[in-house]
């Protein structure tokens, strides 16, 4: 057997694996090669061991092709082992796994994503009614909001509450037939995002009734009578809903709630009816202190068999008017940095008729399934909108401030130390908003992407945290002094809220994203689990055999694909687009194959124990997340018409994602329990070393300069946030930024002629000297004066009489610097 023959066989085998040809194609190809070897007398010259190996290979391939033989020798034996090591899955875990759908995440888990599917998805587009609402009532509501006044009053003003109800902000998910606005997920997200860019309390007040809660559950699971009664009243704001899920002893592990309802008969409106006596203790419930209708999740029990033979019925959801005797509600929690209504609710043996169960008696015990299906979609809308708002506002206002604020005789934004956080803000914001928009498109297509919604919840709230931290660093002292002139403090202090709610981020990353993603998105794993987890009959064994051997081929294919793309740098991979972003499509293909192979290796190694390997799960979650967000950034670039001005943002986002993917895969393999195998797989995936590096300094400089000037790319990046036209703190920054840019030519002329840099300390004398010398005109002098006066107002901070601070209410006085600027 000469080296040429061996090379041909290996090359053909790798080609078959790379393109995932079926098993019969392997057998046919091997048969052709063998016949060719015999007929050309190469076979006669083979040594004995090579002939034996050839015979064994032939028998093995034909054995794999013959299903009965394959099952007898391999799959039936593995089936029994697989059933033993399969981790126990509780009913609530099973319902969580079955909730929602998969979409582009499944493509990324295939190791061979079909880009046509992604690029053919429609561009996100608001309806005419949604855009009018944003330009009208939302804009008007933003104008009514004063962040400082709301925080000091610890509530929204009465006129704001009234406006929210009258304009039906609480009805965005309610169909028009019930009097609601019936907005799309994109419209819902756009409203929340714009409000959040102005005031978090107003945004949360509007967000919660349009997210997971009574309205959503009634729409999908309520009886006709329940919908007809509640939905019009919710749409008009006559009813304020809240939903109580979290208990003191059941936070992230909400399914273990101790709250219980016992089926019994009781008196309601003078009649004996079938119902439940419910006892609960809930906390952290948004809108609870002002709610009129309480959505409640609890465990239902039927000890007397009034509904049948089953005693433990499962988690159930009900709607309870808050004026029902025994309902305790009204006390408030004070969330850090925010004053939206939030508080506890309790009740002891409160009797509720069976008609108050959402969906009626037939839905008793189905509450967890209802919640998981609703959360699969809802989690992709509300909190991601808050995260995108934070990133956009941080980029918009920090870029402006860095251009306005001067130190060492130049705008601070031109220092490389400031360029770095500005670039990070811009790149992260571009990626976050791209992922938000793409997931909303999936919702519009009818998907309920539970894994993608978890990715968004985690990465957009974490991205928001990073952006606002960077904004605070750039602002320095301006950001840490409280008062009406501080437009960052509230957003900074409220970050832990979005990090914690709807699944704490630590839990979401370490258990949900990859934990669910591996099972839901993998093309074969769930099929194997279902086959092995059911009744051990012929049908399940046959299904297991089919899934198992497809899975084996899948693993081999991804290993070969990852290695081939590694040694070629993925340069031979076909990209669906040309131009400067084509290389990123190729690299995502490469990393998709590498990720899927490593994921299979880890799952095969740990089996059921992987459920407790949360560090591994978290790293793999980061890989899947960045594959998705990088894809979203590429899709956005195409949707926007490939604007060249946006390329620095695309390059930064993609390079950062690829670096994260690479580092997480390396971390997984370094911690693989068999070190030599981990090193071998690392070499197979990255045969010539680690190819990805952090974004170039030049890329970061370009991103920073986008934020430091007025341009179309900056407008696209920050689209959808509220830009205050007034003289509040944020409005002053926008006005000063425009004035500074307009005065820049005159200031350059003064610097060149008089050899001095214009500042807030010298502008009066310098401007007059420039006018007298004919360096600038009187009109230009006015521009410079206005720019410096506004800049002085922007960099000023609040000061308070000591007595008023210590008395508990702080009303600021005008600082000397601000007074002088005025």
C-beta neighbour count of 168 within 10 angstroms:
18
Of 31-35, 232-236, 635-639, which gets the smallest average pLDDT?
Answer: 31-35
**Mean pLDDT, rounded, for 298-306:** 95
Alpha carbon distance 419, 244 (integer Å):
45
Cα distances (Å, whole numbers) of residue 454 to 100, 347, 383, 435: 11, 32, 10, 12
**Mean pLDDT, rounded, for 33-51:** 53
**Mean pLDDT, rounded, for 403-416:** 96
β-strand partners of 410: 407
Q: How confident is the model at residue 513 (pLDDT cuts 50, 70, 90)?
A: very high
C-beta neighbour count of 239 within 10 angstroms:
22
C-beta neighbour count of 158 within 10 angstroms:
8
Please give the pLDDT value at position 24.
47
Closest CA to 698 of 648, 773, 749: 648
The 3-class secondary structure across 127-180, one letter per residue, is CHHHHHHHHHHHHHHHHHCCHHHHHHHCCCCHHHHHHHHHCCHHHCCCCHHHCC
Instruction: Look at residue 346 and tell me whether its pLDDT is greater than 70.
Output: yes
Instruction: Compute φ and ψ for 650, nearest 5 degrees.
Output: -65, -45
The 3-class secondary structure across 55-97, one letter per residue, is HHHHHHHHHHHCHHHHHHHHHHHHHHHHHHHCCCCCHHHHHHH
Q: How confident is the model at residue 575 (pLDDT cuts 50, 70, 90)?
A: very high
Tell me, yes or no, if 502 is annotated catalytic: yes
Please give the pLDDT value at position 256.
86
C-beta neighbour count of 675 within 10 angstroms:
11
Instruction: Compute φ and ψ for 264, nearest 5 degrees.
Output: -165, 180
Closest CA to 498 of 508, 486, 487: 508
Question: What does the DSSP 8-state code read for residue 594?
Answer: H
For a pLDDT cut of 90, what percent of the chain falls above it?
A: 73
Alpha carbon distance 467, 197 (integer Å):
13
Residue 198: HSE in the Cβ half-sphere, 13 Å Cα cutoff: 28
Please give the pLDDT value at position 601.
94
Contact 511, 96 (CB under 8 A): no
- In this structure, what is the dihedral angle of CA atoms 302, 306, 307, 308, given to the nearest 10 degrees? 90
Alpha carbon distance 290, 331 (integer Å):
9
Q: How confident is the model at residue 1 (pLDDT cuts 50, 70, 90)?
A: very low
What mean pLDDT, rounded, does the chain reach?
Answer: 89
Please give the pLDDT value at position 78.
77
Alpha carbon distance 162, 151 (integer Å):
18
- Reduced to 3 states, what is the DSSP secondary structure of residue 286? strand
**Mean pLDDT, rounded, for 89-115:** 83
Tokens representing residue 30 in the block: 């091997």
Instruction: Look at residue 347 and tell me whether its pLDDT is greater than 80.
Output: yes
Alpha carbon distance 542, 548 (integer Å):
10
Task: Find the catalytic residue in 95, 502, 528, 799.
Answer: 502
Tokens representing residue 713 in the block: 């790319």
Instruction: Look at residue 35 and tell me whether its pLDDT is greater than 90.
Output: no
Contact 164, 192 (CB under 8 A): no
β-strand partners of 275: 264, 353
Please give the pLDDT value at position 12.
57
Dump pLDDT digits (tens) for 422-474.
Answer: 999 999 999 999 999 999 999 999 999 999 999 999 999 999 999 999 999 99
Please give the pLDDT value at position 534.
60
Q: How confident is the model at residue 41 (pLDDT cuts 50, 70, 90)?
A: very low
Tokens representing residue 102 in the block: 């998969």
Please give the pLDDT value at position 38.
46
CA 721 from centre of chain: 18
Please give the pLDDT value at position 554.
87
Burial 11-36 (b: 16+ CB within 10 A, else e): eebbebbbebeebeebbebbeebbee
* CB proximity list for 300: less than 8 A, separation 6 or greater: 260, 261, 262, 263, 276, 313, 314, 315, 316, 364, 365
Instruction: Look at residue 722 and tell me whether its pLDDT is greater than 60.
Output: yes
Instruction: Look at residue 249 and tell me whether its pLDDT is greater than 70.
Output: yes
Of 92-106, 242-256, 393-407, 752-766, which gets the smallest average pLDDT?
Answer: 92-106
For a pLDDT cut of 70, what percent of the chain falls above it?
A: 87
Q: How confident is the model at residue 37 (pLDDT cuts 50, 70, 90)?
A: low
| Greater pLDDT, 98 or 432 | 432
Of 738-752, 768-782, 797-811, which gets the smallest average pLDDT?
Answer: 797-811
Instruction: Look at residue 70 and tell me whether its pLDDT is greater than 80.
Output: no
Instruction: Compute φ and ψ for 282, nearest 5 degrees.
Output: -120, 155
Closest CA to 239 of 292, 202, 294: 292
* CB proximity list for 446: less than 8 A, separation 6 or greater: none
The helix (run of H) or strand (run of E) holding residue 243 is strand 241-244
Instruction: Look at residue 99 and tell me whether its pLDDT is greater than 80.
Output: no
- 6 exposure class (CB count in 10 Å sphere: 0-12, 13-18, 19+): exposed
Please give the pLDDT value at position 632.
98
Please give the pLDDT value at position 49.
56
């Amino acid at each position: 057997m000469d080296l040429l023959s061996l090379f041909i066989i290996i090359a053909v085998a790798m080609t078959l694996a790379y393109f995932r040809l079926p098993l019969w194609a392997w057998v046919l190809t091997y048969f052709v090669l063998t016949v060719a070897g015999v007929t050309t007398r190469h076979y006669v010259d083979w040594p004995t061991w090579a002939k034996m190996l050839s015979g064994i290979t032939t028998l093995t391939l034909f054995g794999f092709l013959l299903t009965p033989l394959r099952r007898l020798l391999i799959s039936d034996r593995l089936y029994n082992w697989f059933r033993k090591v399969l981790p126990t899955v509780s009913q609530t875990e099973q319902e969580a796994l079955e909730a929602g759908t998969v979409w582009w995440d499944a493509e990324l888990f295939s190791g061979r994503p079909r880009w046509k599917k992604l690029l053919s998805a429609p561009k996100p587009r608001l309806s005419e009614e949604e855009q009018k609402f944003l330009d009208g009532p939302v804009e008007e509501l933003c104008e009514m909001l004063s962040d400082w006044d709301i925080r000091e009053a610890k509530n929204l003003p009465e006129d704001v509450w009234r406006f929210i109800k009258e304009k039906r902000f609480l009805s965005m998910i309610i169909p028009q037939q019930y009097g609601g606005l019936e907005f799309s997920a994109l419209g819902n997200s756009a409203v929340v995002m714009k409000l959040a860019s102005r005031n978090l309390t107003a945004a949360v007040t509007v967000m919660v009734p349009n997210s997971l809660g009574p309205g959503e559950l009634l729409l999908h699971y309520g009886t006709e009578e329940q919908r007809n009664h509640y939905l019009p009243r919710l749409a008009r704001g006559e009813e304020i809903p809240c939903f109580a899920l979290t208990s003191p002893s059941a936070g992230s592990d909400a399914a273990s709630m101790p709250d219980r309802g016992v089926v019994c008969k009781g008196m309601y409106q003078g009649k004996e009816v079938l119902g439940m006596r419910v006892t609960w203790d809930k906390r952290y419930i948004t809108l609870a202190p002002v709610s009129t209708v309480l959505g409640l999740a609890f465990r239902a029990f039927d000890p007397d068999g009034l509904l049948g033979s089953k005693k433990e019925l499962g988690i159930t959801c009900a709607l309870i008017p808050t004026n029902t005797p025994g309902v305790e509600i009204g006390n408030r929690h004070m969330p850090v940095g925010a004053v939206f209504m939030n508080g506890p609710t309790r009740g002891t043996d409160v009797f509720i008729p069976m008609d108050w169960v959402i969906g009626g008696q037939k839905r008793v015990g189905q509450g967890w399934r209802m919640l998981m299906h609703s959360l699969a979609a809802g989690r992709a809308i509300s909190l991601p909108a808050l995260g995108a708002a934070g990133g956009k506002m941080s980029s918009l206002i920090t870029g402006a401030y860095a251009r306005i604020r001067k130190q060492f005789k130049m705008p601070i934004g031109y220092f490389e130390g400031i360029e770095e956080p500005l670039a990070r803000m811009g790149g992260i914001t571009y990626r976050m908003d791209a992922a938000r928009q793409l997931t909303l498109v999936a919702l519009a297509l009818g998907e309920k992407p539970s894994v993608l919604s978890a990715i968004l919840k985690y990465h957009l709230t974490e991205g928001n945290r990073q952006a606002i931290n960077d904004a605070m660093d750039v602002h320095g002292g301006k950001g840490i002094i409280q008062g009406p002139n501080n437009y960052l403090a509230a957003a900074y202090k409220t970050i832990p809220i979005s990090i914690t709610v709807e699944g704490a981020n630590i839990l979401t990353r370490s258990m949900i994203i990859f934990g669910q993603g591996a099972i839901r998105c993998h093309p074969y794993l769930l099929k194997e689990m279902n086959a092995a987890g059911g009744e051990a009959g012929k049908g399940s064994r046959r299904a297991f055999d089919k899934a198992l051997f497809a899975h084996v081929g899948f693993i081999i294919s991804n290993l070969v694909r990852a290695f081939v793309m590694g040694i070629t740098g993925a340069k031979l991979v076909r990209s669906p687009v040309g131009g400067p972003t084509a290389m990123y499509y190729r690299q995502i293909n490469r990393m998709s194959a590498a990720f899927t192979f490593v994921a299979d290796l880890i799952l095969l190694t740990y089996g059921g124990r992987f459920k407790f390997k949360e560090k591994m799960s978290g790293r793999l979650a980061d890989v899947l997340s960045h594959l998705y967000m990088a894809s979203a950034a590429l899709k956005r670039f195409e949707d926007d018409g490939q604007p060249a001005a946006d390329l620095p943002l695309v390059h930064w986002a993609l390079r950062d994602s690829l670096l994260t993917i690479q580092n997480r895969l390396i971390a997984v393999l370094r911690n693989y329990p068999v070190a030599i195998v981990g090193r071998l797989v690392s070499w197979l995936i990255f045969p010539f070393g680690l190819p990805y590096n952090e974004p170039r300094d030049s890329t970061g400089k370009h991103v920073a300069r986008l934020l430091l000037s007025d341009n179309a790319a900056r407008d696209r990046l920050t689209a959808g946030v509220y830009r205050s036209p007034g003289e509040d703190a944020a409005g002053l920054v926008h006005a000063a930024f425009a004035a500074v840019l307009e005065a820049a030519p005159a200031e350059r002329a003064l610097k060149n002629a008089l050899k001095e840099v214009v500042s807030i300390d010298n502008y009066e004398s310098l401007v007059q000297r420039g006018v007298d010398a004919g360096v600038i005109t009187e009109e230009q002098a006015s521009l410079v004066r206005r720019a410096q006066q506004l800049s002085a107002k922007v960099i000023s901070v609040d000061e308070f009489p000591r007595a008023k601070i210590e008395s508990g209410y702080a009303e600021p006085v005008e600082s000397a610097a601000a007074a002088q600027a005025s």
